Amino acid sequence: MIIRKKRVSILTIINITILISLALLCVLPFANMLAMSFSSKEAIDEGIITFFPLGLNVDAYKYILSKDAFWQSLKISLIRVAFGVPLNVIIAIITAYPLAKESKKFKTRTIYVWILFFTLLFSGGIIPWYFLLHKLNMLNNMSALILPGAVPVFSIIILINFFRRIPKELEEAAIMDGANHWQILFKIYVPLSVASIATITLFSLVWHWNSWFDGMLLMHDPSKYPLQTYLQQILIETDTSLNQYKGNPEFSFLGNKSARAAGVIISIIPIVIAFPFVQRHFKKGLVLGSVKE
């Protein structure tokens, strides 16, 4: 093989420039928010903040962190994630395993798969769903945030595809050793599927953390709003009942861009911190799971 000293071609330079610009484009709006969150109201009103704070202060953060409603909604979101994510993952695992079996080994498999898959194709809409939740007395109750979404059909499908790739010999050997299905699932399949499981865990985490609509529709008490619903009310709509909490009602969020920016920054911190670590597993898992070679 000829080793040539390569000139860096024009194309490469353009390539790198564009890519770096795109990457920056994804980051700059957050940088703008970061700057606004540390700036004074006057500077913001003048419209001169770009990426550096002016009139440096932490009032906006003090304001938000002093709001009981904020902490309450954070708590709700954490509870939701603590219960909802494991539920999603466990259900995905135990449901994907049987459905990964071939039809001759497990006859009703196809029916079950279609029962689940059909829910992706057709739905009755929000109103019947809403009425059902009321009849079940789930409105204004944490269960309304966790149970309806408990079955992650798309994740199940990803796992099914992944489980199918696991060599059947492993299962056959285990059966000969007298193992039952539970043992096969948790002692063989699960350890081999860490990448996929990490992926669907991430999906579930992101979904639960970012959900705002169900909180808005199903929770009557502002004290039961998850974080994103609280943020939606504060940043975009105004739910004045949030003021029922003792806080410092000096200035309102709407007119206070600094507070809004601080709200944005605070709520994306968990994602920004967790993300670089998680994305490695996630890249692998997503690809392997959804595309059959």
Partner 1 sequence: MHKSIRRKNLALHLMVLPAIILVFIFNYIPLFGIVIAFQDFVPAKGLFGDQEWVGLENFRFLFELPQTKQVIINTIVIALAKAIVGLIIPIIVALMLNSLRKQGLRSGIQTLIYLPHFISWVIISSILIDILSPSTGIINQFLMQIGIEPVYFLGEPKYFRMTLVVSDLWKEFGYGSILYYAAMQGINPELYEASDIDGANKLRKIWHITLPGIRMIIVLLGLLSLGNILNAGFDQVFNLYNIQVLETGDILDTYIYQLAFGTNLNYSLATAASLLKSIISFVLISMAYYLSYKYADYRMF
Partner 2 sequence: MKKTLVFLLTLIVLVALSGCKKTETKIIPGDNDPFGKYDNLTTIELVRTSDASIESDILSYYNDETLQNNRFTNLFEEELNIKITYKFIAANPEQYRTKLNLAMSINDLPDFMMVDPQQIKQLNAAEQLIDLTEYWETYASDLLKEITTQEGNQVLEAATIDGKLLGIPQMFSSIDRAQFLWIRTDWIDKINEDNPNLNLPKEPKTIDDLEKIARAFMTEDPDGNGRDDTYGIINQGNLWADLGGLTALFNSYDAYPNIWVESDGKLEFGSIQPEVKETLAKLSEMYNEGIIHREFATQTSDTIADKIKTSKVGIVFGEQWTCAWPIQDLYNINPNTEWKALPLVSSDNDKNTKTQITMGTYGWWAASKSSQHPEAIIKLMNTYVESIWGENNDFDKYYMPEETGLPVWKLSPINPEPPTKNLDAYLSIKNAIENETEDTLVGEAKQIFDQIQKFEAGDKKFWSWSKGYNPLDEPVYESMKFYHDNELFQYNQYNTAPTETMVDRMSFLQDEQNRVFTGIINGTKSLDDFDKFVDDWNRLGGEDITKEVNDWYKSIK
From residue 142 to residue 181, the character string flagging contacts with partner 2 as x (rule: CB under 8 A) and all else as - is ----------------------------------------
Q: Which partner in partner 1, partner 2, none is near 128 (CB below 5 to 8 A by kind)? A: partner 1
Within 75-104, the residues that bind partner 1 by CB under 8 A are 91, 94-95, 97-99, 101
Give the count of alpha carbons within 13 A of 123, CB side only: 10
CB neighbours of residue 9 within 10 Å: 9
Q: Is 20 in the site for partner 1 (CB under 8 A)?
A: yes
Specify whether the backbone of 55 is left (phi greater than 0), alpha (psi in -120 to 50) or beta: left
Cβ closer to partner 2: 31 or 115? Answer: 115
Near partner 2 by CB under 8 A, which window of 92-100, 151-159, 240-248, 276-284? 240-248
Q: Is 244 in the site for partner 2 (CB under 8 A)?
A: yes
Produce one character per residue of 254-293: b if its CB has 16 or more CB atoms within 10 Å, e if not: eebbbbbbbbbbbbeebeeeeeeebeebbeebbebbeeee
Report how far apart, in Å, the C-alpha atoms of 271 and of each of 5, 108, 188, 202, 277 are. 42, 40, 31, 11, 10
Q: Using alpha carbons, select from 113, 110, 129 the residue that is nearest to residue 121.
A: 113
Give the one residue of 62, 75, 246, 283 binding partner 2; rule: CB under 8 A: 246
Give the one residue of 13, 27, 58, 194 binding partner 1; rule: CB under 8 A: 27
Distance CA 38, CA 41 (A): 10
What is the closest distance, in whole angstroms, from the C-beta atom of residue 91 to partner 2 in the complex? 18
Q: Using alpha carbons, select from 167, 158, 156 the residue that is nearest to residue 192.
A: 167
DSSP 214-250: HHHHH--SGGG--HHHHHIIIIIS--GGGGGS-S-TT
Q: Which partner in partner 2, partner 1, none is near 82 (CB below 5 to 8 A by kind)? A: none
Q: How many residues bind partner 2, per CB under 8 A?
A: 22
Q: Is 68 in the site for partner 2 (CB under 8 A)?
A: no
Within 87-106, the residues that bind partner 2 by CB under 8 A are none
Q: Is 44 in the site for partner 1 (CB under 8 A)?
A: yes
Near partner 1 by CB under 8 A, which window of 60-68, 74-82, 188-196, 202-210? 202-210
User: Under the rule (CB under 8 A), what is the footprint of partner 2?
Assistant: 45-46, 108, 130-132, 134-135, 220, 222, 238-244, 246, 249, 252, 254-255
